[in-house]
Amino acid sequence: MNWEQLLSLKRFGDTEKRPRIAQDETRLGFEVDFDRIIFSSAFRSLQDKTQVIPLSETDFVHTRLTHSLEVSVVGRTLGRRVGKVLLERHPDLVKLGYTFNDFGAIVAAASVTHDIGNPPFGHSGEKAIGEYFKTGKGLPYKNQLSEKEYQDLVDFEGNANGFKILTESRVGISGGLRLSYATLGAFLKYPKESLPKKPTAHISDKKYGFFQSEKLEFLDVVQELGMVSKSSENIAFYRHPLAYLVEAADDICYTIIDFEDGINLGLIDEDYALEYLSKLIKNINREKYYELQHTKDRTAYLRAIAISALIDEAVALFLNNEKAILEGSFEKSLLEKCKYEAQINDIIAISRAKIYNSTEVIEKEVAGYRIIADLLDVFVNALNNSFTNTQSNFDKLVLNLLPKEYQSETDNLYQRIMQVCSYVSRMSDGYAIRMHKKLTGNMI
């Protein structure tokens, strides 16, 4: 892979090249990506989607929206710092007009979208959609779908759903948000289809990045960017290099900030923070630390230093392994290869025991399973019964609640089911709860 091609400013539908040197510096294309994402309805819904801990009465807890914004800040820093060195290594990019801010803008835009496809109720939302088709009332559809279409459903993936949101055309709107292909490439952490599942231990094979419904859009993006194919039998590519930085930004934030949330909520003893983060941070000013009177301020101090240390490490790892990353032979995430891997794993283990498995989190996830299954069942049945002209009066009423953009007429069962999955996945936690109450007659 080569950087000039990987930094493509092309957007869906372009018939001419967009040379970097011809860009308006006051309205740079990569920065336009960030703006379009921020103003999208899909991004706004993240304000009421669970990150890990359900919304509580405190102001400590991160939502998907605040998490995504923080990831974008870290991502921008990673991109700029890496970009500064890459321009020194590849002076031809400077002649073409590229600056280190371009790298920061691409990574920031891809980072702020990294959770845009996640369903309500945290990661259990993905599992709930999958379970509906794997063991629930959606199981009978298995024999009516292709193997890969069915796998899209039983292994419903927020990353693939995010690519759908960013690129899906609707009447009058071609190419979704029409982001630059460089940003879309950096967004694709897992540039493969749903099957085969985890064919290798390479990090790009851990999950998948697009549904069968967006296969053509995916191929258009990866071919324009010159991403390298890794299979002659199935659709799978090596990552866009900047996807490693997007992943690192997310890993840094959820590792440290979930831990911080747990401390501020009293789920993790503050002594753990100093004990475990001190292993990650070598230059804690303990005098300054103990001068801070409030737990919230002390944990914020530790968080800032820890994130800075991990940024330094991620930048160094990327630059030291640039050649392997461009070739596709760098098989792990950056943090998996960093010198702090053991300390990071310790922090995650505590977060898993104290936060992710807390009663409050589990109760929300259990409720989410039931709510999502019921929503899928009602809307999928109504849409399919409408297609076969067997709808009941209830089905007709239900379809009045389903927005028209999710009711495009098609004789393709997979497409009809995906329309409903797309609708349910874009719901906020609160909206899903309210819609479930309406459909089950619980109006109290």
Residues 65-78 pLDDT 10s: 999 999 999 999 99
Residues 295 and 385 in one domain: no
pLDDT at 53 > cutoff 90: no
Residues 327 and 377 in one domain: no
SS3 call for 180 = coil
- End-of-domain residue from the set 356, 374, 395: 356
Angle between helical axes of 123-134 and 147-154 (0-180°, round to 10) = 130
Share of the chain above pLDDT 90, in %: 75
Residues 346 and 252 in one domain: yes
- End-of-domain residue from the set 308, 326, 356: 356
Average pLDDT of the residues in 25-38: 93
Residues 344 and 367 in one domain: no
Residue 328 DSSP code? T
Q: Does residue 70 sit within a domain?
A: yes
Chain-wide mean pLDDT for the chain?
93
Q: Does residue 257 sit within a domain?
A: yes
Q: Nearest CA to 294 among 318, 321, 312, 270?
A: 270
Report whether 372 contacts 132 (CB < 8 A).
yes
Q: What is the dihedral of CA 263, 356, 117, 149, to 10 degrees?
A: 170
pLDDT at 187 > cutoff 80: yes
Distance (Å, whole) CA 240 – CA 320: 17
Q: Which residues contact 134 (CB under 8 A, 6 or more apart)?
A: 154
Average pLDDT of the residues in 13-35: 92
Q: Does residue 300 sit within a domain?
A: yes
Q: How many domains does the chain have?
A: 2
Range of the domain at 318: 3-118+241-356
pLDDT-based confidence at 55, cuts 50/70/90? low
Residues 364 and 349 in one domain: no
Distance (Å, whole) CA 310 – CA 299: 16
Residue where the block lists tokens 């980072």? 111
pTM across the whole model:
0.95
Q: What digits encode the pLDDT tens for the residues 235-261?
A: 999 999 999 999 999 999 999 998 988
Q: What digits encode the pLDDT tens for the residues 123-181?
A: 889 999 999 999 999 999 999 999 999 999 999 999 999 999 999 988 778 889 999 99
Given phi > 0 = left and psi -120 to 50 = alpha, else beta, which region is 428? beta
Residue where the block lists tokens 């109504």? 382
Q: What is the CATH number of the domain that holds 330?
A: 1.10.3210.10
pLDDT of residue 1: 97
- End-of-domain residue from the set 356, 378, 395: 356
Q: What digits encode the pLDDT tens for the residues 328-374?
A: 999 999 999 999 999 999 999 999 898 888 888 888 888 899 999 99
Report whether 159 contacts 223 (CB < 8 A).
no
Q: Nearest CA to 261 among 25, 67, 19, 30?
A: 67
Residues 429 and 410 in one domain: yes
Residues 273 and 342 in one domain: yes
pLDDT of residue 56: 53
Residues 393 and 410 in one domain: yes
Residues 285 and 352 in one domain: yes
Distance (Å, whole) CA 368 – CA 131: 12
